Structure 1
Amino acid sequence: MTDRRSVVITGTSRGLGFAAACHLYRRGWHVLAAMRSVDTGLEALRAATGAGDDDPRLTGVALDLTDTASIEAAAKSIEAASGAPYALVHNAGISAAGMVEETPDSLWERMFATTVFGPVALTKALLPGMREAGRGRIVLVSSQGGVRGMPSTAPYSAAKGALERWGEAMAGEVAPFGIGVTVLVTGTYDTEIITDAGTTDCRDLAGVYAPHHATMDKRGRAAMRMAARSPEKFAAGLAKALDSTKPFVKQPVGPDARMLMIANRLLPSAGLHQMTRLMMGIPRFGALGGRRNG
């Protein structure tokens, strides 16, 4: 590409966001890398890309999506560095494991603050400039949990589902101003978020859901080992999505996400529920009725 477009990417200190920032920088974009630990994160990005300390195409932006003041300051920093950005990529997210009964309210609040409320606030702050410019793209990074609610990840699935519905609604609002919206449904990628270190674990492995956890953990880890792809493949998919001129696009990035989206279109909800149960080894309906912990 010859024009120097600017892109804001949240959650760039690691994982998919880090890979995307590196990939787009190498393609000539002005990358505004938003993250909580901006000093260490920007240093890592410079090391990975070869960017110099004074490179105008790599700008660090301090951002905590759970803090209103941080979001407001980040929006001002972005506009000062690049004017109205061409693209805004909402990638930042957190992961958690645990049944609904096991997950505390504080986790649900943090999940929605990071995945929905914070991104909405940042978008609202940047939209006036993007509307004035009359062009741009907003990309919402979803996942398989946004397509279909997955057992043991209810807060994550709920937040990603809300993210997708927000994107669908917003697309109709901003399209007349020349701004498109893309929902990227990611498959399984080899990042920290799928590991124990990157997940808030709320599971009670000795509680009433122990029969679920024992099988789901074993099968889930095996599936991740087989299906996980390099984050660079996601970055390439994101780069293609940013070149779209359609007012709204929802597309998979990864073969497992593609298969789930096809199944979601073709199969009835009851069929998908049963397929998920069998794949995860969850006991049949009523199998644990009347059982008590201890």
Structure 2
Amino acid sequence: MTTFALIGAGSGLGLAAARRFGTAGHTVALIARGAEHLDDLTSELARDGVQARGFTADALDPASLATALRAAADALGPVEILQYSPAVRADFMKPVLDTTADDLDAPLTFSVKGPVTAVRAVLPGMRRLGRGTLLFVNGGSAVRPHPERAGTSVAFAAESAYARMLHDTLAPENIHAAQLIVPGAIHPDSEHSNPDALARRLYALHTDRDGFRHYAEALPD
């Protein structure tokens, strides 16, 4: 049995994605900062028959991500699918003219150092399996920079570039990297951007392995 590792486990998209991949037969490693929160999620998944376990780590502490992913693989089995989708902090989204060089340190750690560390932690196991999937979830500022959200615009663009390079480089090894852009808020009443719909879309990206960048819905004009 292989593992679906989710960085950014929450009660919305994270829980829905964990349920979708877990009911498909993967064990689930939930990675987030709060241990009590992780216990609640694993209990809810257990009621659905999903084998899940929580591992504490912080996307702003890349070393903790590597430790958590190694522990997950040791406890649950090799990571076949990695989803990187932690929720960004509000202070990443200052207007561009109010953003200093120091203000970019945390967003770039979150969206570049975190993904690079996570991928390097799981890639050896994927290579041993002979397959793998790397899923990156970003907001619309990844492809359309927004002057009121400078930190995420810069950091998501860098994450996008890294993920695209992974897509091109790892394809010959049967390791698929894909990005899902969610232009607006994830909301239960949204037709295409509700948690369950996005979870189904992410699972399809894993199984269909068709192209790099995908959109939950069209970018607004």
- Aligning the two structures, in what range does the TM-score lie when normalised by the shorter sequence? 0.7 to 0.9
Give the % identical residues: 23
Q: What residue ranges of structure 1 are gaps of 5+ in the alignment?
A: 192-224, 261-274, 276-294
| 1:157 pairs with 2:157 | no
Over aligned residue pairs, what C-alpha RMSD do you find?
Answer: 2.6
Partner-residue secondary structure (3-state), 2:209 = coil
| Shift in Å, 1:142 | 1.9
Question: Superposed, which structure 2 residues align to 1:1-294 within 5 Å?
Answer: 4-47=1-44, 50=47, 57-96=51-90, 97-190=93-186, 229-246=193-210, 248-253=211-216, 255-257=217-219
TM-score, structure 2 normalization: 0.86
> Deviations for 1:263-286, whole angstroms, at most 9, x for unmatched residues?
xxxxxxxxxxxx6xxxxxxxxxxx
CA distance in 2, matches of 1:226, 1:7: 25
CA distance in 2, matches of 1:106, 1:141: 25
Task: Give the paired residue count.
Answer: 219
TM-score, structure 1 normalization: 0.66
**Aligned amino acid, residue 9 of structure 2:** T
User: Which structure has the larger Rg over C-alpha atoms?
Assistant: 1
> Deviations for 1:32-72, whole angstroms, at most 9, x for unmatched residues?
111111332231342365158xx6x2121212122243123
Runs of at least 4 residues off by over 6 Å: 225-228
The match for 1:270 is none
Partner-residue secondary structure (3-state), 2:145 = coil
CA distance in 2, matches of 1:28, 1:188: 30
Q: What residue ranges of structure 2 are gaps of 5+ in the alignment?
A: none
Partner-residue secondary structure (3-state), 1:145 = helix
Partner-residue secondary structure (3-state), 2:208 = coil
CA distance in 1, matches of 2:139, 2:183: 6
CA distance in 2, matches of 1:118, 1:230: 25
2:2/2:76 contact within 8 Å kept: no
